[in-house]
Amino acid sequence: MISTARVPADKPVRIAFSLSDATDDTPPEDTIPLVFPELDQQLQPLPPCHDSVESMQVFKQHCQIAEEYHEVKKEIALLEERKKELIAKLDQAEKEKVDAAQLAREYEALTEENRTLKLAQSQCVEQLEKLRIQYQKRQGSS
């Protein structure tokens, strides 16, 4: 809401407004927010012509758009951070998947080696038993 009042010429004049459409009795802000530090220079709202209602409305819209722009930039930053986290999790999951596949291959190889060693052991046990029998036969015949 824009209000006007006659002010003596020797008194300084301050103009302020609220970006919200609410009409309240709070004192107006001391200054018009002319600077949005997160905006590039060419995107900064230009000061309004205080005598023109249309200029003030355009300035208000520009300030609201600047605030929305700031909120969108914050959201983009948060989403980019989340994206990095998800990529890291995906990389970790892929690494674990590769590790699991490698472990499965190692398990298969060790299982096969174990089977082969057990077979060799049983053959050695059989051969040892045959040699004992032969040795006992020689001992018994001599």
Predicted local distance difference test score (pLDDT) of residue 28: 43
pLDDT given for residue 34 in this prediction: 47
Cα(77)–Cα(75) distance, integer angstroms: 5
What is the number of other CB atoms lying within 10 angstroms of the CB of residue 64? 13
User: Other CB atoms closer than 10 Å to residue 48's CB: what's the count?
Assistant: 21
The mean pLDDT value of the chain amounts to 81
With pLDDT > 90 as the criterion, what percentage of the chain qualifies?
53
Q: What is the pLDDT of residues 93-116, one digit of tens each?
A: 999 999 999 999 999 999 999 999
Token pair listed for 75: 């959201």
pLDDT number for residue 38: 73
pTM higher than 0.85 for the full model? no
Q: Is the pLDDT of residue 66 over 60?
A: yes
Q: Is the pLDDT of residue 83 over 90?
A: yes
Distance CA 31, CA 63 (A): 14
- Give Cα 48 to chain centroid, integer Å: 39
CA distances (Å), origin 73, targets 37, 38, 77, 140: 13, 9, 6, 98
Q: Spell out the residues 6+ positions from residue 113 whose beta carbon is closer than 8 angstroms to its own.
A: none
Residues 69 and 43 sit within 8 Å (Cβ to Cβ): yes
